[in-house]
Amino acid sequence: MFLILASVTVAFLFGLWILRRSVLGNTDNGKIRPSIAIDYEKFKATKQEIEAVEKQIQEKGIWADRKEWKLMCEIYSKIEPVQFENKTRYKVNVKSEIEVTVTAYSIERAITFKNIFESLHPTLYHGLGWAGWYSKAEIEEKQKNSETRYRTS
């Protein structure tokens, strides 16, 4: 019985090790490499953005925005102050087909992450397609097969 339990434990730990290496990409002693290159300068908060967010938070208690990035596809964003360990932090929520929420240290950081998350969904859509639909490669394969099927000699 002990031998079976030990074998199952070793197999489970080996499976976790494989998962860690394949999914997280941790093949080099714990150093995590970013899989997406991001130009952070492109997303930095401008002085005008910071002032606009501060003003709306002072007036309404929350900053909110809605953008249409594709016909009938909108991204909703909001930044609101929250108390965390007796300090003011800023909760960022960006929602489209996906929803991302983080808590930022400052308004400037909140706007930077809002900008990144607002660009993430359209970028994924244009690169991969909708998450709930076929991949672009599958669609192209289906189109190619249907063209071949209906071609006359």
Residue 69: φ, ψ to 5°:
-100, -15
Q: CA 4 to CA 8: how far, in whole Å?
A: 6
pLDDT (tens digit per residue) in 121-153: 888 877 777 776 777 677 778 778 776 655 555
Q: pLDDT tens digits for 66-92?
A: 988 888 888 999 999 999 889 999 999
75 vs 98, more confident: 75
How far apart are alpha carbons 102 and 77 in whole angstroms?
12
The two three-digit tokens of residue 59, written as one number? 């007036």
**Spatial distance between the Cα atoms of 99 and 72, rounded to a whole number of angstroms:** 17
What's the pLDDT band for 11 if we cut at 50, 70, 90? confident
The DSSP bridge partners found for residue 70 are 73
Q: Are 91 and 103 in contact (CB under 8 A)?
A: yes
User: With bands split at pLDDT 50, 70 and 90, how would you rate the model's confidence at 102?
Assistant: very high
Residue 10 has pLDDT above 90, yes or no: no
Of 36-40, 68-72, 87-91, 99-103, the poorest mean pLDDT is in 36-40
pLDDT for 128: 75
Least confident of 18-22, 87-91, 100-104, 133-137: 18-22
Tokens of 63: 């900053």
Is the confidence at residue 65, as pLDDT, over 90? yes
Q: 94: which 2 tokens?
A: 């960006």
- Read off the pTM: 0.64
Question: Which pairs count as long-range contacts for 70-74, CB under 8 Å and 24+ apart, including other chains?
Answer: 70/122, 70/125
Question: For residue 24, what are the CA distances in angstroms to 17, 27, 31, 37, 124?
Answer: 10, 9, 10, 16, 19
**Four-residue CA torsion sign, 144, 145, 146, 150:** positive
